[in-house]
Amino acid sequence: MKKILLLSAILLLSTSCKAQETTQISENKVIENSKPKLVIGIVVDQMRYDYLTRFYNKYSDGGFKRLMNNGYNLKNIHLNYSSTKTAVGHTSIYTGTTPDNHGVIANDWYDKNSKKMINCVGDDRYTSIGSPSKKGEKSPHRNQVSTIGDQLHLSQNMNGKVIGISIKDRGAILPAGHSANAAYWYDGNDIGSFISSSYYMSELPKWVRDFNKTKKVDEYLSKTWNTYYDISTYTESTSDDNNYEQKFTGKPTATFPYELPKLRAENGNYSLISETPFGNSLTLDFAIEAIKEENLGKSQFTDLLAVSFSSTDYIGHGFGVSSKEIEDAYIRLDKDLERFLLFLDTQVGKNNYTLFLTADHGATEVPNYLKDQSIPARYIDKKKLRKHIKNIATELYGTEKLIEHISNNTIYLNKKEIKKLKLNLAEVQQSIADDLIDYKDIYRTITAKTLQTTDFTEGFMSLVQNSYNQKISGDIVFVYTPSSITDYYKNKGGTTHGTGYNYNTHVPLLFYGNGIKKGESSIYHPITDIAPTISTILNIEFTSGNTGNVIEDVLK
C-alpha cells in the first residue's frame, strides 16, 4: 500500500512538474511572440512640445491624435543636456545617454588634435554611394557607444535589419548605429537622390536605384506650396506678411503661395524640397519603399527603422516658431503620419509594430517678435563677442594667443602658449570666465576644471555638464542670456536652437503599438529614457553607455 501511495505521489509530482514546464514554455512563447516584429523610431527635427497642443484642432484623427489618444503621451520630456543640436539629439535618443558619454557634442566641433573643425559624421575613409559628390563620405564613428539597433543586432546574433532614413546625413547615420544594415540620406543640389556611404555598402540596392529613377522629387517641386486649409483659419500663428521671416531668393515676401517651379533654380534646385513640407513627404515615400522592399517586420527577427523628418527644422529656421509656414508644415506632417500608420497597419500588422515619436530639440521664438511683445530677447554679435574674449586674454596675460578657438559657446585655450608663459591652466580658465560673465550678452560661464571636479545633479549647470566631454570639449563654456540667438538671424529673420533653455529642451514623446499602454503622464523624464524603454520592450541588453531609466508607466 505504501509503495502504491509513493508511486502515486511520484507520478503526481512528475505530472505537476511537466505541467509547470509546459506552462513556462507556453509563457516563454507568449513573451517571445509578444515582441514587435518592427520598431519604428520617428524623430521630428525641431519639434517643440507645444506644436502638439497648439495645432491639435487642426490635426486629423489618424495622425498625431491617433498616437496621442490611443498610445501613451508623455508631456514633460526634456533633453537633459544644453547642446541642443540635431546630431546630439539623434545620438542621445538612440544611445540612452548624453554627450559626456557618447561623444557627439555638436553638429560640428573643433578638434583639439587636428586643430580644425570636424563634422559629426564626416569620414573621408569612405566614399559616396549613389552620388558623384562627397556627401557620402560619412560614418557613425564619432559616436563612442552602442545604439538600440546595435544591441538589437547583438541580441539576435546579428540577424534582423536596422536601417536609418532622413533628408540629413546625421539624422540617418547616428540613429541607425554602428552595425546598421544601411543608412540613406538625401543629396540635393543637382542630384536629387537618396544616397549612402561605402561604410554600409558597395552599391545602392536595386529598389533604391529604382526609387531615385522615378524622380518623385520633381513631382513635388512641380507643385505650388499653399496652405492645406484656407489661410484665414490659421489663427494659431502670426500674420503671413511680417518682418520675422526669411525670404526665398526671387520672392520679395515670405508669404503664401510659394511657386516651387519658379523658385527652385535660385534656391538650390533639388535642395529646395528640404525647405518645404514636401521634403517630409518624400522621406516618408522612401521609408515606405524601404519597409516593402526590405521586407521589414516579416521575418522571425525584429527589425528597426529609424526615420527622421528634417524639413520641419529647415522651415523652423527660416520662418520661425509662430509662422503660418510652420503651422502648415505640421498640418501636412500630420497627414503624412496618418498615411504611414495606415500603411503599417496593412503591411506589418496592427499588433506587430511598436513606434515612438519624439524630437531632437525645440526652438526659440524669433527674438524680434518677442521684443515687439515686450518680452526680453536679444541678438548676439558674434564678432564683437570674439573680439571681447581676445581682449580679456590680452588684458589679463598680455596676449590674445591664449585663445586658440571659439565655437559652440566654448573657448579652447592654447595649451602650448600657456606652458610657454608658465601659467596655470586652471587659473587662466577661471580668470577669463570671471571676466567674461560681465559681458552684457553672457548669462553664465563655467570652466572645464569646475565641470571635472563638481557634480551638478540638478539645475541648468547639470545640463551644461552633461554636454561637456572631457576628452573632446574645450576649456570655458559660456551661456547666452535667455531668448537670445546670434545676429546671423537679425536681418534675415527666422530662428535657431542650441541652448539648455526650456524652449529648446521640451519635446514631445509618444509611444504607440505593441507592448504600449494607453494613457498620458506629466511626470518629468529625460530624453535618454527612450532607449532603455525600447530595450525593455525588446527584452535586450541596454546600450553600452546607457544612463537612462525605463519609463515603466508606458509598458503593458
Active site residues: 86
Phi first, then psi: what are they for 467, rounded to 5°? -90, -10
Phi first, then psi: what are they for 252, rounded to 5°? -70, -20
Integer Cα distance of 163 and 302 in angstroms:
12
> What letter would DSSP give residue 481?
P
Q: Is the peptide bond before 175 cis (omega within 30 degrees of 0)?
A: no
Integer Cα distance of 87 and 492 in angstroms:
24
Residue type, 75: K
Closest by CA to 68, choosing from 52, 55, 57, 54, is 52
Residue type, 296: L
User: How many angstroms separate the Cα of 49 from the Cα of each of 33, 316, 470, 505?
Assistant: 34, 14, 31, 9
Q: Name beta bridge partners: 484.
A: 378
The DSSP result for 126-140, as a single string, is S-EES-SSSTT-B-S
Integer Cα distance of 115 and 415 in angstroms:
12
Integer Cα distance of 280 and 45 in angstroms:
10
324, 297 Cβ separation under 8 angstroms: no
Rounded to an integer, what is the distance from CA 532 to the centroid of its chain?
A: 17
- Which segments of 1-128 does DSSP mark as H helices, in order? 2-33, 50-54, 64-70, 86-95, 99-102
452, 470 Cβ separation under 8 angstroms: yes
Closest by CA to 113, choosing from 364, 320, 404, 370, is 404
